[in-house]
């Protein structure tokens, strides 16, 4: 997945045991939280809006779940995954 700022991100989908202890790097991860897949599958939970970036209008996407805003590359990667799932 290539971001609008030019970064290439390789997303990974995995199943992990519910008892797994996550140890995110505080330099890279602000918070870890769970969102059910069913939330992302509900079209009403997706918000699209326009934002100027480097002199161009860009469509942005976001999800808000339990007070957590999921936006930017994370939201775009999730939306890309959902669209691929629908085609499968």
Q: Going residue by residue through the chain (88 aa), what tens digit of pLDDT does each one get?
A: 888 888 999 988 888 898 999 999 999 999 999 999 999 999 999 999 999 988 999 999 999 999 999 999 999 999 999 999 989 8
- 37-48: b (≥16 Cβ within 10 Å) or e: eeebeeeeeeee
* Under 8 Å between Cβ of 61 and 46: yes
* pTM of the complete model: 0.81
* Under 8 Å between Cβ of 1 and 11: yes
Q: For the sheet containing 68-71, what is the strand order? A: 47-53, 56-65, 68-71
Which tens digits make up the pLDDT trace of 8-33? 999 888 888 989 999 999 999 999 99
């Amino acid at each position: 997945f290539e971001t609008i700022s030019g970064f290439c991100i390789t997303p990974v989908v995995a199943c992990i045991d519910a008892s797994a202890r996550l140890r995110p790097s505080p330099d890279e991860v602000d918070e870890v939280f769970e969102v059910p897949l069913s939330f992302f599958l509900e079209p009403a939970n997706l918000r699209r809006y326009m934002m100027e970036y480097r002199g161009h209008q860009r469509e942005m996407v976001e999800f808000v779940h339990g007070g957590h805003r999921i936006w930017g590359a994370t939201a775009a990667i999730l939306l890309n995954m959902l669209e691929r799932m629908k085609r499968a």
